[in-house]
């Protein structure tokens, strides 16, 4: 493979990564800042409260923050592996790193 072919493949891969990042960003049902606060809240709460295999703590946070599209956020979380509070931390938070 020539140097120009390698560079072309590198550029295609970079373009695909950028497209995926943009699509992810556009899919967010609330701000990144709200997600970061949610992750921090869950991290704190789950140190003293056991996960009940639901999104109880997450829902409490969203309601306390006056998030208007709670169901949309919960659906988005589930679509990204967050089916309960501990899975939001385990599976969803990594998408924001």
Q: What is the pLDDT of residues 15-59, one digit of tens each?
A: 888 888 888 888 899 999 999 999 999 999 999 999 999 999 999
* Three-state secondary structure call for residue 92: helix
Residue whose C-alpha is closest to residue 64's, from 41, 48, 46: 41
Confidence of residue 78 (pLDDT cuts 50, 70, 90): very high
Predicted TM-score (pTM) of this structure:
0.83
Q: What is the pLDDT of residues 5-20, one digit of tens each?
A: 888 888 888 888 888 8
């Amino acid at each position: 493979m020539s140097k120009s072919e390698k560079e072309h493949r590198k550029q295609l891969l970079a373009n695909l990564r950028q497209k995926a990042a943009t699509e992810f960003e556009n899919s967010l049902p609330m701000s990144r800042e709200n997600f970061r606060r949610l992750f921090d809240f869950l991290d704190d709460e789950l140190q003293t409260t056991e996960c009940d295999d639901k999104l109880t703590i997450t829902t409490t946070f969203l309601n306390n923050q006056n998030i208007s599209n709670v169901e949309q956020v919960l659906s988005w979380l589930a679509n990204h592996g967050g089916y309960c509070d501990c899975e939001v931390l385990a599976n969803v938070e990594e998408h924001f790193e």
